[in-house]
Structure formats: structure tokens, C-alpha cells
Amino acid sequence: MDDEQTPDTTHDNDNRLELSIGRQVRQFRRKLDMTVNELAKLAGLSSGMLSKIENGLTSPSLATLQSLSTALRVPVTSFFRKFEEQRDVTLVKSGAGLNIERRGTRAGHIYQLLGHTLGRALSVEPYMITLTEESEVFPLFQHEGVEFIYVLEGRMDYHHNGSTYPLGPGDSLFFDSDAAHGPENLIELPIRFLSVMAHVRSEDQ
């Protein structure tokens, strides 16, 4: 039996870097409305080599990147920016959301945080909210930004800014969350709904 082989993650990372650099080179070239032949000539490369770089099929040397940056009139570091950008991802298995304390928790509203953004100007927080017999109505929530709710189970009347909206499974509501809002009548329990809250972070957050 052959020995089990472990994935070569180093090679995968290198390939992702090559692809990212190639995409950046192509993007900068197109912004200048240049052909592959024109850029290759300016950078002192063959058209075939430039094509390989743009398609992530070869790892360009630092000298080659320097030549390309001069020809494209961009700093060398600009070729690496997309690769270095943080990409948030959060996996939450069924029933494993993080129970957190929010204003509604005191009224018996169970909040399960399903993820959140990191280091971004826009804060986005998805929650699974559960209302039971122990939950109180509280139609006076107010917080900055916008909110989207989608009902999965149960029925309720939901208040927003002086109006009442009957909501059941499959119904959704999108609204400015700086106006008073929240469950007004709990009609059919338990009630479960997805709530996605979003707002622009202030500089001190």
C-alpha cells in the first residue's frame, strides 16, 4: 500500500500568490489600455512570459516585478495587496451559535451570534433570535444602521416606527434600525428569526 500523502499547502499558497499577482498585473495593464505585447516590450519581457505571469503559471522574480512596476507606473507592493487583504469567513454548525448578551436578552430574547466582520469599516452581525413563553414584548429597540429580519418559525406582530407588520414563516422585513422597533405581539410560539444588523463603524470602534 502506498504511504498516505499530506497535501502540499506550501505549493497551494505559492500558486494563490502567483494567481493574485497575475490578476493585478493584468488589471493594471488594462487600466492603461495596453496590450500584452506593449507591456512586455516596456518591461523587457517576452510576450509569452508576460502571458504566463498574468495567468499565474509562473512565479516572477523580484527583478521582473520591478520592471513591471516601472512599466505600469505602480509600486511593487501593489502587486501583493489583493493577496494580503483579510478575507473574513465564519462557519457555525447547527445549534452552535454563540449566546450573547444584548439589550433584548433581559426580556427573554435569546441571541445567538452567527458571525461578524473583522477590521472592516462596515460592521455586520447576523443573529438567530428565539422567543419563547418566557419572552416579553419589547418594541422599543433602537441602534444605529439597518436591520434585516427573516422569520423561520412562529408568528408575531413586529413594530417599526409607529407601524405594525404581521410576520410569519418566510416573511421578512428590512428597516432603518435607529427608529423604535421590535416584537409587539407574540402570536404563535416559539418564534425563531434571523436578524442581520449592519452599521458603519466609527473611528474609535
Q: Say if 91 falls within a structural domain.
A: no
Arithmetic mean of pLDDT, 85-94: 67
Domain interval for residue 191:
98-200
What's this model's pTM, rounded to 2 decimal places? 0.56
Residue 181 forms part of a structural domain: yes
Window from 8-17, 120-129, 161-170 with minimum mean pLDDT: 8-17
User: Do 108 and 42 fall within a single domain?
Assistant: no
What span, in angstroms and rounded, lies between the C-alpha atoms of 140 and 104?
10
- Across all residues in the chain, what is the average pLDDT? 84
**3-class SS of residue 41:** helix
The verdict on 105 and 196 lying in the same domain is yes
Please check whether residues 80 and 105 belong to one and the same domain. Answer: no
pLDDT higher than 60, residue 8: no
The whole-angstrom separation of Cα 26 and Cα 54 is 6
Q: Tell me the pLDDT tens digit for each residue of 18-58.
A: 888 999 999 999 999 999 999 999 999 999 999 999 999 99
User: For the domain that residue 78 is a member of, what is the CATH number?
Assistant: 1.10.260.40
The enclosing domain of 116 has a CATH number of 2.60.120.10
Residue pair 83/17 in contact by the 8 Å Cβ criterion: yes
Instruction: Decide if pLDDT at 148 tops 50.
Output: yes
Q: Does 102 fall in a domain?
A: yes
CB-side exposure of 97: number of CA atoms within 13 Å? 19
Query: Are both 73 and 21 inside the same structural domain?
Result: yes
The reply to whether 116 and 173 lie within a common domain is yes
More confident residue, 98 or 143: 143
Q: Is the pLDDT of residue 10 over 50?
A: no
Same-domain pairing of 80 and 102 = no
What does the alpha-carbon distance between residue 128 and residue 151 come to, in Å, rounded to a whole number? 10
How many domains, the chain?
2
Q: Find residue 174's DSSP bridge partners.
A: 148
